[in-house]
Amino acid sequence: MITSMREFMNITKALADEKRVRVLLALRKGELCVCQLTELLGLAVSTVSKHLSILYQARLVETRKEGRWIYYRLPGKEAPLVVRGAIDWVERSMADSPQIAEDIQQLKKLMKRNPSALCKRQCRN
């Protein structure tokens, strides 16, 4: 596994923040839109977007655009080994985290809500 210093630093920077780690772990169940992640983290949309940009730059997340919405997901099997290894390490390390367990419960509720309604509500605030 040959990794450039830049690639390594991007990954370590991305993993050096609790919110970004929470995003990665939230995406284990499938893709989420920015509005859903904003609701989960309780942050401003601009702050969540900055976190997602850092994760994207590190290639720890991928995107899909549908209309006005951008959906984020974990990279697939075609991702570099270093990226897959970093995500696996985060999953193993945080397996027993109370915060992650709480996020999972909150995500179950969020997934029942219409993402469009979440986005509209967030735009009003």
65: tokens are: 């655009």
Cα 112 from chain centre: 19
**122 found inside a domain:** no
CATH number at residue 19: 1.10.10.10
| Per-residue model confidence as pLDDT tens digits over 103-113 | 999 999 998 88
Which tops the pLDDT comparison, 111 or 98? 98
| Per-residue model confidence as pLDDT tens digits over 38-72 | 999 999 999 999 999 999 999 999 999 988 888 99
Give pLDDT, residue 87: 96
User: How many angstroms separate the Cα of 74 from the Cα of each of 117, 120, 121?
Assistant: 24, 25, 26
pLDDT higher than threshold 90 for residue 123: no
The mean pLDDT of 29-35, rounded to a whole number, is: 92
pTM reported for the whole predicted model:
0.90
User: How many angstroms separate the Cα of 102 from the Cα of each of 26, 50, 70, 96?
Assistant: 11, 23, 24, 11
**125 found inside a domain:** no
Cβ proximity of 25 and 91 under 8 Å: yes
